[in-house]
């Protein structure tokens, strides 16, 4: 049971409290990004999953899937109103279907009395909210098994996948190792180049889906995720863009019943 003290608003630091968890390695921008576009009534608390020797293997996610429940339990005890899991791969690492992930999220939400949202499944929810049928998957830095896993997951959710490719498939890098050496941070122009590539190879697609949490450097060198770029990219490419980070934030805001601040792409603007 969630501690009863959190039912009394005067015991909370913020009227709306959000808990984030991120993969076991690499400093994650999600809590900072989310807080930047949230009203002052929203507070954010982060908890990184601890997996010693983690090397980004899908099997390591499978072996440590139970840590997601530990995270929700911890956040529930500490008064979070909603929990968000960063990273698309967790929904497909065990070969799970969208329905199985939905059931998993519902079970944890009910058991710990705190809504729990996984980024990979938020993609599905956002695309359904937008009535999207045909999609192009910009799989950015994803390794081939990651790319193929999320592609399978999206097709199982009922979407018509008319294009799927990562940065190597698009010719932006010669090898996956070269891409990996960037540590998820890429030259700013790659965001637009990859979107145009996906759009050109899937002209009939209703939207471009972006998995993972890629970062693109702006002119002053600061890395930005798609949530900071989606409005301009949608205008330049002429298609809706639904990324993992934007979809996760959209679902959390929707659960809280709170609107994001600032100017955004189509998905987040629907809440404003």
Q: Which residue has the tokens 């809504």?
A: 115
* Judgement on whether residues 227 and 180 belong to the same structural domain of the protein: yes
Q: Give the up-direction half-sphere exposure of residue 231: CA atoms within 13 A in the CB hemisphere.
A: 8
What total of structural domains would you count in the chain? Answer: 2
pLDDT at 210: 98
> Where in the sequence is the domain holding 196, given as residue range(s)?
123-243
Q: What is the pTM of this model?
A: 0.96
Tokens 């939400």 belong to 109
How high is the pLDDT of residue 227? 97
In a shared domain, residues 239 and 251: no
The helix (run of H) or strand (run of E) holding residue 83 is: strand 82-85
Tell whether 62 and 197 lie within a shared domain.
no
Q: What are the structure tokens assigned to 268, written together?
A: 């987040």
| Residue 239 and residue 252 in one domain | no
The strand order across the sheet containing 134-138 reads 160-165, 134-138, 207-210, 240-243
Provide block-wise average pLDDT over 10 residues at a time, the chain (272 residues).
95 98 88 97 94 84 90 97 96 95 98 98 98 98 96 98 98 98 96 98 98 96 97 98 98 98 98 97
Same domain, 92 and 130: no
Residues 224 and 255 in one domain: no
The conformation of residue 183, written as its DSSP 8-state character, comes to T
Do residues 65 and 45 share a domain?
yes
Which strand ranges, in their side-by-side order, compose the sheet holding 185-186? 185-186, 215-217, 223-224
Pair (213, 131) in one structural domain: yes
Quick one: 38 and 142 in the same domain? no
């Amino acid at each position: 049971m969630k501690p009863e003290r959190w039912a009394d608003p005067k015991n909370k630091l913020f009227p709306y409290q959000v808990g984030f968890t991120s993969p076991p390695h690499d400093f994650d921008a999600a809590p900072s990004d989310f807080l930047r576009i949230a009203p002052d009534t929203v507070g954010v608390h982060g908890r990184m999953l601890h997996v010693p020797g983690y090397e980004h293997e899908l099997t390591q996610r499978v072996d440590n899937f139970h840590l997601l429940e530990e995270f929700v339990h911890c956040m529930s005890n500490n008064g979070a109103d909603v929990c968000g899991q960063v990273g698309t791969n967790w929904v497909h690492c065990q070969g799970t279907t969208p329905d199985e992930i939905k059931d998993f999220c519902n079970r944890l939400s009910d058991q710990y009395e705190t809504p729990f949202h996984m980024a990979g499944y938020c993609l599905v929810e956002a695309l359904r909210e937008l009535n999207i049928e045909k999609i192009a998957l910009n799989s950015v830095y994803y390794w081939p098994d990651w790319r193929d896993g999320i592609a399978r997951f999206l097709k199982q959710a009922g979407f018509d996948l008319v294009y799927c490719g990562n940065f190597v498939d698009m010719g932006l890098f010669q090898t996956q190792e070269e891409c990996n050496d960037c540590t998820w941070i890429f030259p700013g122009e790659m965001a637009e180049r990859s979107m145009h590539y996906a759009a050109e190879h899937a002209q009939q697609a209703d939207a471009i889906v972006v998995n993972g949490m890629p970062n693109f450097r702006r002119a002053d060198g600061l890395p930005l995720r798609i949530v900071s770029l989606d409005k301009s990219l949608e205008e330049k490419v002429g298609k809706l863009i639904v990324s993992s980070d934007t979809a996760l934030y959209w679902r959390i805001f929707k659960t809280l019943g709170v609107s994001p601040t600032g100017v955004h792409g189509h998905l987040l603007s629907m809440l404003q």
